[in-house]
């Protein structure tokens, strides 16, 4: 599509056409695509706004960064906020503080899991530890599972002691899903206490936990 066709598609009443226009912007330079994307951050369809967030993550400049911050903080749909958080991570280190702050402000599980995944891909063990600690204090099981998984990434960092301590406190959690993640993350730690805990989990009543332990001990 040429740029005039894209502009027409973006103004179409059919959201499928607007999404098609947004997809086509991937072929254009940042200075052309970004203003057109930003014009649709308030589109009435959340799927269109999600496409906008994805597009802004691929057309990186100061304007797209600011647009993603706005979407992550103020959009009414958690799917869009999660997509904005993911796209913001493509900007690298400059996104870390914003992602950390938004994790604390937005307690929707989808947004938090997106932020956890984003921080896990960035070199920021301190911020990763902080969001994991917040998530583990909550009651949302998918978020807690993500946090426990990320605690394994703290092994061999300056925060390995804190990570291991948190994992050890969850060895007897009532949820088998939590214990499975604990077993997987403990396998990343070369520490006697981690080995002791894994041997304890090897006798777990749930075969899925035992399977995770055996994988970790290989």
Instruction: Return d(Cα 151, Cα 169) in angstroms, integer.
Output: 12
Question: Distance between CA 106 and CA 140 in Å, rounded?
Answer: 13
pLDDT tens-digit readout, 84-113: 999 999 999 999 999 999 999 999 999 999
pLDDT at 217: 85
DSSP letter assigned to residue 171: T
- Burial of 166-189, coded b for 16+ CB within 10 Å and e otherwise, reads bbbebbeeeeebbbbbbbbbbbbb
Q: Where are the domains of the chain?
A: 1-123, 125-218
Please give the structure tokens belonging to residue 54: 């994805």
Confidence (pLDDT) at 112:
96
Whether 18 and 9 have beta carbons less than 8 Å apart is answered as yes
Question: What is the architecture of the domain spanning 1-123?
Answer: Alpha Horseshoe (1.25)
Q: Is 3.20.20.140 the CATH classification of the domain at 125-218?
A: no
| pLDDT > 70 in the chain, percent | 100
Dump pLDDT digits (tens) for 154-189. 999 999 999 999 999 999 999 999 999 999 999 999
Q: Which residues contact 196 (CB under 8 A, 6 or more apart)?
A: none
Same fold, 1-123 and 125-218: yes
pLDDT at 29 over 90: yes
Which H or E run includes 208? helix 207-217
């Amino acid at each position: 599509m040429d740029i005039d066709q894209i502009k027409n598609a973006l103004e179409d009443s059919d959201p499928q056409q607007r999404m098609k226009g947004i997809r086509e912007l991937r072929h254009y330079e940042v200075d052309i695509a970004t203003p057109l994307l930003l014009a649709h951050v308030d589109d009435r369809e959340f799927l269109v706004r999600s496409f906008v967030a994805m597009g802004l993550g691929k057309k990186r400049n100061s304007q797209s960064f600011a647009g993603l911050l706005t979407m992550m903080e103020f959009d009414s749909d958690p799917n869009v906020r999660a997509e904005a958080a993911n796209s913001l991570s493509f900007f690298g280190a400059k996104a870390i503080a914003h992602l950390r702050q938004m994790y604390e402000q937005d307690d929707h599980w989808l947004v938090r899991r997106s932020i956890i995944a984003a921080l896990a891909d960035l070199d920021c063990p301190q911020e990763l530890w902080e969001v994991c600690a917040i998530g583990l204090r909550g009651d949302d099981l998918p978020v807690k599972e993500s946090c426990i998984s990320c605690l394994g990434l703290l092994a061999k960092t300056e925060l390995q002691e804190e990570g291991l301590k948190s994992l050890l406190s969850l060895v007897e959690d009532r949820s088998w899903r939590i214990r499975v993640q604990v077993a997987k993350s403990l396998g990343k730690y070369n520490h006697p206490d981690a080995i002791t805990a894994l041997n304890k989990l090897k006798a777990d009543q749930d075969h899925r936990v035992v399977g995770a332990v055996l994988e970790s001990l290989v």
